Amino acid sequence: MKATAVAPSNIAFIKYWGKKDDVLRLPENGSLSMNLSNLTTTTTVEFSTNLNEDYVEINGTQEPSEGSRAVKHLDRVRNLAKIETKAKVITNNTFPSGTGLSSSASGFAALTVAAAKAAGLKLSEKELSILARQGSGSACRSIPNGFVEWLDGETSDTSYAISLHPPDWWDLVDIVAIVSDEKKDVSSTAGQKLVYSSPFFQVRLTKIKEKLEYAKSLLKQKSFQAFGELLEAEALELHAIMLTSTPSLIYWMPGTIQVMKFIKKVRNDGLPVYFTVNTGQDIHLICEKQYSKEVVQALNRLDCVKQVIENNPSDGAKIVK
């Protein structure tokens, strides 16, 4: 009873922030994302009667079982499979964790797919997405392929992700500028509990469905400039809510702001590239493939950028052995 899965992280163009249900991780709004080819997690799960307790190792470090989200997720899989067997889990990321690059998305998507396979479950894509969502909300978006929508549902069965377009739909490139690999001091899970204290959050909710539909139409039309302007404004709106929560959430570092200002400058100089930021300091730059080399060269001139990772749109989570 052993399986290995690989899953991508994803970048949300239209973000989710706030939950209707903390236990089921039902979002306050739907979202739109793209899976990323070079931000991945590989996870092997082995259920064995020789184990007396679960063993979880992430990037070479054993995770304590007490309060472990991974162990809780294994329990969900065991409940579905009607087994009690303990498991050994070995997980490795190709990118820094806890810096706003959605390592929980790729992590729980890979864990979901590998554990379900190892436990003998035969789940549909929808069922895998629902299960992954319960481990980490954004993980549900890493199950389908390419460009993905997470449906805003009122129940567990109606809140899951679907593929809107395959990876080759549009030759967008996501270029990650890592300005620090320091882990953020407030997790996304903890941060989302503060969302209702922001005076701007309810205003966001009144407009988010219209914004999501507009984003989907731009994606379908491949209207790059309008799409870039929208996703950049969306990222700043998200962080405005974080900044005005009580207590405030400040995920950015000096390098984050330096890259933002730099991107605005090179765009004014004629290079079509836009930024977006998740819940952390590292920043995503979105451009079309023909400009990616130029964007990377420009980034490499900045001392604040420690590493650059270039991503194409990718498939979702899959079993590799």
- In which region does residue 131 sit, left (phi positive, over 0), alpha (psi from -120 to 50) or beta (all else)? alpha
pLDDT in tens, 95-152: 877 666 889 999 999 999 999 999 999 999 999 999 999 999 999 999 999 999 999 9
The pLDDT assigned to 99 comes to: 67
Query: Kind and range of the H or E element at 190?
Result: helix 188-192
**Measured in whole angstroms, how far is the alpha carbon of residue 151 from the centre of its chain?**
15
Strand 274-277, strand 172-178: pairing: unpaired
Q: Dump the DSSP string for 27-46.
A: ESS-EEEEEEEEEEEEEEEE
> Hey, where are the domains in the chain?
2-168, 172-311
**Residues 77, 119: Cα–Cα separation, whole Å:** 7
Query: Which CATH architecture describes the domain 2-168?
Result: 2-Layer Sandwich (3.30)
Phi and psi angles of residue 268, each rounded to the nearest 5 degrees, phi first: -65, -25
CB 176, CB 186: distance < 8 Å: no
Tokens (6 digits) for 289: 């493939």
CB 43, CB 316: distance < 8 Å: no
Q: How far is CA 8 from CA 71, 165, 209, 230, 321, in A?
A: 21, 16, 26, 24, 16
Helix, strand, coil percent values for the chain (each to nearest 5): 40, 25, 35
**Residues 290, 306: Cα–Cα separation, whole Å:** 24
Burial class for 200, CB neighbours closer than 10 Å (0-12, 13-18, 19+): middle
Average pLDDT value for the chain: 95
Cα angle, residue 137 at apex, residues 135 and 141 outer, rounded to 5°: 110
Please check whether the domain covering 172-311 is classified as CATH 3.30.1360.30: no
Q: How far is CA 127 from CA 82, 122, 156, 196, in A?
A: 16, 9, 10, 30
CB 178, CB 309: distance < 8 Å: yes
Name the nearest CA neighbour of 311 among 294, 296, 298: 296
Q: Per residue, what are the HEC states of 76-134?
A: HHHHHHCCCCCEEEEEEECCCCCCCCCHHHHHHHHHHHHHHHHCCCCCCHHHHHHHHHH
Please, which residues bridge with residue 62 across strands?
57
pLDDT tens, residue order, the chain (321 aa): 899 999 999 999 999 999 999 999 999 999 999 999 999 999 999 999 999 999 999 999 999 988 899 999 999 999 999 999 999 999 999 987 766 688 999 999 999 999 999 999 999 999 999 999 999 999 999 999 999 999 999 999 999 999 999 999 999 999 999 999 888 888 888 899 999 999 999 999 999 999 999 999 999 999 999 999 999 999 999 999 999 999 999 999 999 999 999 999 999 999 999 999 998 899 999 999 999 999 999 999 999 999 999 999 999 999 998
